[in-house]
């Protein structure tokens, strides 16, 4: 079912695109108004002229009075120069090169993109999840993204902390394609901790937003941008999610668009897995093997399992510790109590497992992988 | 007529000798105090007058001028009143000439003529002795403390009338009262025991290491894990105070007005300020004369900051430099003081606002980040021992009792004393990184392991040195001469990235 996505050629910035960008960049404009303007006028240039004329006066929006002044020819030239200098792509809904195909009714009328748009031509898989993810979730997101990107997919996610960041990083680490759909203007990097990730995304992937330059991060915009993730990707995978979080919204939207959704089951002791378990109960398929995603895309793949390398041989105390932890995180004290080892033995065994990659330390706990 | 006698006033935790001069002359009857007294000093006029009259002594109806020399130094408190009264008696010829020579008096007066205790006796008598005073007359409650200063004869004044009689030789000096039975806070200490705490093996080990080696300790865990319970029991395992240390503690506590009627301190101080404490309350401050803060009151003892993340970030960051220097310099426009602050910092906090188990936390990433930003990285770096404490099963076995751990700590302190005998340091935690390899070298295979471990965890030089010191303390606690690989492993585990 992997319909060949249209290859958006980096189309030249013409008047139409600059006009669309200028409208999207108007101070205080929201998606509904932009849609209304486009629908009324049909063409961005017509919409621009209409706003310039000062006849557009929606009720209860005093800032609209300033819009004609922000659309002077000099300002438009400056915006065109800025778009060109940043290498920003401007896509308009209904155009042949519009990346979301088929475009649902709520697809953004204007979409900005920075980076390499050719990654959109590959099969798109969304990997989403909670921002407060467990080390296990982060690792699984990274591993899955690495595998899928290596198999030729492009990973779509939201550049948020937690699962999103791990998914993008996994795809980039595999030298694969990835698309970050953000809820701010493309000139704003949020969260700031992802500064380095943004740079990598711009160099080797693509950052996409429906918001004009200067739009700040606001809580209500993030669930809204999730619909772009859900519509872009053919398959959506939820790694770890809260019951009512943004990942849940993305999964529900993807389902409503008829796209395949997977949820990764986790331990009942892991609260971050609860959202996935709710999804599975509501009929979402559990993701048993990474290759299931490829099968859903119509790509033949053999099951590969989650662990890249088989467990290595370790000393008897280390394997005793590993057995005692049974995959669950524990403090050193708990590990000692469960395994019957002394604190010093746990310390040495934990280090051994750490070196073989079977265990990591986070927030003062031992997390078996 | 003129008479002068010595007394002393407190400047921080040090005494400042003051000469009290009283001049009685013809003129309009009046009483004025000059020489920068504070409000309490100015009010002393009423107390001195009432005390003399109640004691059956006469009040000269003449012009009385009291000068507190050196005139440029601010005098605080009411401890000069006894000296004022004595000098007034001298100036009014109610005492034979020369009786006040070589004497110093400390004490506040009550309206009935009796003498009330003053704060900081030890520091005051110390300063007077250094200035060559042979005999100090103090309130009865302060006698035991004054007697700690060698080379000074301590006499007791119970009231002004008796004082005059004794000075004139008409009566015998009263005997100083016996010091109150040792430490009253001992009683509370006896009730606590480490055996009360169940589980928490790693935290117990860290607590013993903190008590023995002087390593600052941070416990992070969910509410109800037993962090505070464990931390409060550190008083039961601390090594006893050496005499010089006890004098320092007594001096500070006395100057802060925390002990009256008691002699030498025998317990290490344990200070646990509430998390609303201000910067001045923690490090000391106040104007015009800075007073010692909690870090100085915890000198040679423990400063326990429960709910560390709830303290103001400014107050916590003010601790950084004193923790490193083990003293604090307070500079004000009028005066600049240095207070000692050699303390063991013990702190507890939750891992995040919800405080739940590290695994079951429901806080958002942003909430957690905001909470953790309250604790600056440099402050966290000061803790040699940082560990996550998990919830304990109610059925976990109780740990070893305090008496057992106290013995371990004592042995470890003994070992440290021998090792550090010819160095300026006393505890493992104080040895600077540059001296570690000479003072407490690791055997070569253990040193290799230590280097590998520090590389693996990408530790800075400072972090690596901290693991080295803690490993040494762990070996000391076990009464072993050499540090083993297990010590290094355990030490590295006791210094986690807990937040």
Query: What share of chain B in percent tops pLDDT 90?
Result: 59
> What's B242-296 look like in SS3?
CHHHHHHHHHHHHHCCCCCCCCCCCCCCEECCCCCCCHHHHHEECCCCCEECHHH
Residue A54, C-beta contacts closer than 8 angstroms, at least 6 positions apart: A68
Pairwise CB contact (< 8 Å): B493 & A131: no
Residues A153-176 have a mean pLDDT of 94
Q: Is the ipTM of this complex over 0.90?
A: no
* B147 near A CB under 8 A: no
Residue keyed to tokens 């005492």: B95
The band of A11, judged by pLDDT with boundaries at 50, 70 and 90, is: low
- Chain A residue numbers touching B388 (CB-CB < 8 A): 331-332, 363-365
Predicted pLDDT of residue B183: 53
Residues B291-302 have a mean pLDDT of 94
Indicate the pairing of strand A285-286 with strand A260-263. Answer: parallel
Predicted pLDDT of residue A361: 85
Pairwise CB contact (< 8 Å): A332 & B389: no
Question: Which residue in chain B has the smallest CA separation from A336?
Answer: B201
Pairwise CB contact (< 8 Å): B365 & A354: no
Residues B334-342 have a mean pLDDT of 89
Q: How far apart are CA B475 and CA B479, in angstroms?
A: 6
| Mutation choice for A interface testing from B220, B456, B493 by most A CBs within 10 A | B493
Pairwise CB contact (< 8 Å): B489 & A333: no
Please give the order of strands across the beta sheet that includes B103-105: B30-34, B63-69, B14-25, B2-11, B103-105, B135-138, B153-156
* B467 near A CB under 8 A: no
Number of cross-chain residue pairs from A and B with Cβ atoms under 8 Å apart: 94
Residues B373-382 have a mean pLDDT of 87
- Chain B residue numbers touching A161 (CB-CB < 8 A): 365
What are the Cα distances from residue A105, in Å, to A93, A94, B429?
10, 11, 67
Q: How far apart are CA B23 and CA A70, in angstroms?
A: 86
pLDDT of A6 higher than 60: no
Residues A201-215 have a mean pLDDT of 94
pLDDT of B301 higher than 90: yes
pLDDT of A295 higher than 60: yes
Q: How far is A344 from chain B (nearest CA, A)?
A: 5
pLDDT digits over B384-427, tens only? 999 888 876 667 778 888 989 999 999 999 999 999 998 888 88
DSSP helix/strand/coil, B17: strand
**Is residue B375 a contact partner of residue B309, using CB atoms and an 8 Å limit?**
yes
Pairwise CB contact (< 8 Å): B359 & A347: no
Question: Which residue in chain A has the smallest CA separation from B453?
Answer: A351
Predicted pLDDT of residue B358: 57
Residue B184, C-beta contacts closer than 8 angstroms, at least 6 positions apart: B262
pLDDT of A186 higher than 80: yes
Sign of CA dihedral B374, B378, B379, B381: positive
pLDDT of A311 higher than 80: no
Query: Considering CB atoms only, which of A131, A269, A336 is closest to B201?
Result: A336
Q: How far is B278 from chain A (nearest CA, A)?
A: 29
E strand map for B252-296? 270-271, 284-285, 291-292
Predicted pLDDT of residue A129: 94
pLDDT digits over A23-42, tens only? 999 988 888 888 989 988 98
pLDDT of A10 higher than 80: no
Q: How far is B479 from chain A (nearest CA, A)?
A: 16
Predicted pLDDT of residue A1: 39
Concatenated DSSP letters of A302-344: ----S-SSPPPP--HHHHHHHHHHTT--B-HHHHHHHHT--HH
| Mutation choice for A interface testing from B496, B497, B498, B499 by most A CBs within 10 A | B496
pLDDT of A47 higher than 70: yes
Q: How far is A334 from chain B (nearest CA, A)?
A: 7
Residues A341-350 have a mean pLDDT of 91
Q: How far apart are CA B226 and CA B249, in angstroms?
A: 29
- Chain B residue numbers touching A345 (CB-CB < 8 A): 486
Query: Considering CB atoms only, which of A334, A346, A364 is closest to B498?
Result: A364
Show the tokens assigned to A144.
């899955």
Query: What share of chain A in percent tops pLDDT 90?
Result: 55
Pairwise CB contact (< 8 Å): A365 & B388: yes
Concatenated DSSP letters of A21-59: HHHHTSTT--HHHHHHHHHHHSSHHHHHHHHHTT----T
Query: Considering CB atoms only, which of A269, A336, A348 is closest to B486?
Result: A348
Q: How far apart are CA A181 and CA A167, in angstroms?
A: 13
* B207 near A CB under 8 A: no
Show the tokens assigned to A118.
């050719």
- Bond before B349 cis per omega within 30 degrees: no
Pairwise CB contact (< 8 Å): B202 & A364: no
DSSP helix/strand/coil, A223: helix
Q: How far is A93 from chain B (nearest CA, A)?
A: 35
Question: Which residue in chain A has the smallest CA separation from B389?
Answer: A331
State the maximum Cα–Cα separation within chain B, in Å, rounded to a whole number: 89
Nearest to A195 by CA among A222, A159, A166: A159
* B80 near A CB under 8 A: no
Query: Considering CB atoms only, which of A162, A336, A344 is closest to B489?
Result: A344
Q: How far is A43 from chain B (nearest CA, A)?
A: 41
Pairwise CB contact (< 8 Å): A365 & B358: yes
Q: How far is B138 from chain A (nearest CA, A)?
A: 55
Residues A98-121 have a mean pLDDT of 90
Question: Which residue in chain A has the smallest CA separation from B204?
Answer: A333
Range with the poorest average pLDDT among A312-321, B189-198, B445-454? B189-198
Show the tokens assigned to A357.
């990659």
Q: How far apart are CA B331 and CA B11, in angstroms?
A: 13
Pairwise CB contact (< 8 Å): A365 & B359: yes
Q: How far apart are CA A163 and CA A145, in angstroms?
A: 10
Q: How far apart are CA A175 and CA A148, in angstroms?
A: 11
Query: What share of chain B in percent tops pLDDT 70?
Result: 96
Nearest to B202 by CA among A349, A345, A321, A134: A345
Predicted pLDDT of residue A360: 86
Indicate the pairing of strand B115-116 with strand B385-388. Answer: unpaired
User: What part of B 346-385 touches A (C-beta under 8 Å)?
Assistant: 351, 358-366, 368
Pairwise CB contact (< 8 Å): B360 & A348: no
Pairwise CB contact (< 8 Å): B389 & A333: yes
Pairwise CB contact (< 8 Å): A333 & B202: yes
Residue B275, C-beta contacts closer than 8 angstroms, at least 6 positions apart: B305, B306, B307, B308, B310, B311
Residues B283-309 have a mean pLDDT of 90
pLDDT of B27 higher than 60: yes
User: Mean pLDDT, chain B, as a whole number?
Assistant: 89
Show the tokens assigned to B298.
């915890």
Pairwise CB contact (< 8 Å): A364 & B388: yes
The DSSP code for B391 is P
| Mutation choice for A interface testing from B209, B357, B489, B491 by most A CBs within 10 A | B489
Kind and range of the H or E element at B67?
A: strand B63-69
The DSSP code for A113 is E
Residues B78-94 have a mean pLDDT of 93
Q: How far apart are CA B165 and CA B45, in angstroms?
A: 22
pLDDT digits over A219-240, tens only? 888 888 999 999 999 999 999 9
pLDDT of B24 higher than 50: yes
Apex B203 CA angle, B301 and A360, nearest 5 = 135
Predicted TM-score (pTM) of this structure: 0.79
């Amino acid at each position: 079912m992997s319909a060949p996505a249209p290859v958006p050629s980096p189309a030249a910035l013409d008047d139409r695109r600059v006009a669309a960008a200028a409208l999207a960049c108007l101070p205080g404009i929201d998606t509904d108004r932009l849609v209304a303007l486009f629908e009324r006028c049909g063409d961005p240039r017509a919409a621009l002229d209409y706003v310039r004329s000062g006849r557009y006066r929606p009720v209860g929006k005093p800032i609209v009075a300033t819009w004609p002044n922000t659309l002077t020819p000099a300002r438009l030239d400056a915006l065109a120069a800025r778009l060109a200098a940043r290498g920003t792509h401007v896509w308009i809904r209904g155009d042949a090169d519009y990346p979301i195909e088929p475009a649902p009714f709520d697809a953004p009328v204007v979409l900005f993109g920075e980076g390499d748009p050719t990654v959109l031509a590959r099969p798109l898989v969304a990997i989403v999840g909670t921002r407060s993810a467990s080390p296990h979730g982060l690792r699984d997101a990274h591993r899955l993204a690495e595998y899928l990107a290596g198999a030729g997919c492009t990973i779509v996610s939201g550049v948020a902390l937690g699962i999103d960041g791990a998914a993008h990083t996994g795809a980039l680490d595999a030298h694969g394609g990835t698309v970050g759909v953000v809820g701010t203007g493309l000139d704003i990097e949020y969260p700031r901790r992802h500064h380095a990730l943004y740079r990598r995304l711009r160099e080797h992937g693509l950052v996409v937003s429906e918001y004009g330059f200067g739009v700040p991060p606001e809580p209500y915009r993030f669930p809204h941008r999730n619909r772009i993730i859900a519509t872009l990707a053919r398959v959506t995978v939820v790694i770890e999610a809260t019951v009512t979080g943004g990942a849940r919204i993305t999964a529900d939207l993807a389902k409503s668009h008829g796209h395949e959704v997977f949820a990764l089951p986790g331990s009942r002791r892991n609260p971050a897995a609860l959202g996935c378990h709710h999804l599975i109960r509501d009929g979402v398929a559990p993701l048993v093997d990474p290759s299931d995603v490829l099968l859903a895309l119509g790509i033949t793949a053999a099951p590969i399992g989650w662990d890249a390398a088989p467990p290595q041989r370790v000393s008897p105390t280390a394997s005793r510790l590993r057995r005692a932890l049974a995959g669950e995180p524990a403090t050193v004290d708990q590990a000692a109590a469960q395994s019957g080892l002394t604190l010093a033995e746990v310390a040495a065994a934990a280090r051994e497992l750490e070196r073989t990659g079977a265990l990591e330390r986070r927030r003062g706990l031992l997390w078996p992988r | 007529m003129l008479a002068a006698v010595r007394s002393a006033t407190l400047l921080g935790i040090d005494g400042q000798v003051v000469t009290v001069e009283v001049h009685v002359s013809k003129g309009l009857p009046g009483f004025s105090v000059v020489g920068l007294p504070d409000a309490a000093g100015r009010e002393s006029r009423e107390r001195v007058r009432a005390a003399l009259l109640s004691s059956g002594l006469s009040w000269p109806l003449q012009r009385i001028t009291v000068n507190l020399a050196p005139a440029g130094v601010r005098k605080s408190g009411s401890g000069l009143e006894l000296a004022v009264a004595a000098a007034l008696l001298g100036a009014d010829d109610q005492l034979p000439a020369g009786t006040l020579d070589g004497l110093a008096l400390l004490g506040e007066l009550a309206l009935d003529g009796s003498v009330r205790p003053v704060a900081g006796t030890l520091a005051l008598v110390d300063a007077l002795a250094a200035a060559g005073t042979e005999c100090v007359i103090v309130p009865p409650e302060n006698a035991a403390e004054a007697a700690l200063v060698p080379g000074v004869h301590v006499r007791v004044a119970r009231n002004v009338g008796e004082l005059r009689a004794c000075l004139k030789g008409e009566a015998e000096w009263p005997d100083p009262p016996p010091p109150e039975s040792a430490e009253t806070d001992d009683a509370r200490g006896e009730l606590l025991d480490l055996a009360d705490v169940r589980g928490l093996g790693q935290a117990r080990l860290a607590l013993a290491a903190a008590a023995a080696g002087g390593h600052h300790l941070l416990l992070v865990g969910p509410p109800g894990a037993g962090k505070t319970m464990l931390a409060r029991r550190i008083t039961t395992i601390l090594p006893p105070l050496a005499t010089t240390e006890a004098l320092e503690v007594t001096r500070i506590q006395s100057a802060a007005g925390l002990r009256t009627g008691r002699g030498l301190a025998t317990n290490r101080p344990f200070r646990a300020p509430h998390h609303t404490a201000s910067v001045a309350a923690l490090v000391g401050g106040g104007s015009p004369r800075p007073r010692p803060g909690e870090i100085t009151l915890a000198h040679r003892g423990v400063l326990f900051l429960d709910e560390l993340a709830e303290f103001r970030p400014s107050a916590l960051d003010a601790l950084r430099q004193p923790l490193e220097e083990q003293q604090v310099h307070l500079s004000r426009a009028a005066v600049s003081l240095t207070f000692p602050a050699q303390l063991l910092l013990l702190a507890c906090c939750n891992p995040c606002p919800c405080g739940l188990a590290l695994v079951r936390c429901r806080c958002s990433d942003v909430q957690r980040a905001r909470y953790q930003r309250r604790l600056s990285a440099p402050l966290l770096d000061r803790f040699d021992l940082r560990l996550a404490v998990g919830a304990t099963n109610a059925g976990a076995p109780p740990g070893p009792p305090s008496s057992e751990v106290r013995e371990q700590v004592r042995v470890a302190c003994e070992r440290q004393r021998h090792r550090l005998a010819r160095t300026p340091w006393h505890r493992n935690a104080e040895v600077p990184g540059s001296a570690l390899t000479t003072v407490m070298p690791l055997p070569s295979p253990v040193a290799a392991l230590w280097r590998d471990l520090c590389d693996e965890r990408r530790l800075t030089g400072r972090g690596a040195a901290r693991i080295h010191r803690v490993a040494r303390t762990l070996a000391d606690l076990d009464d072993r001469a050499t540090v083993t690989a297990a010590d290094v492993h355990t030490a590295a585990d006791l210094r986690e990235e807990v937040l």
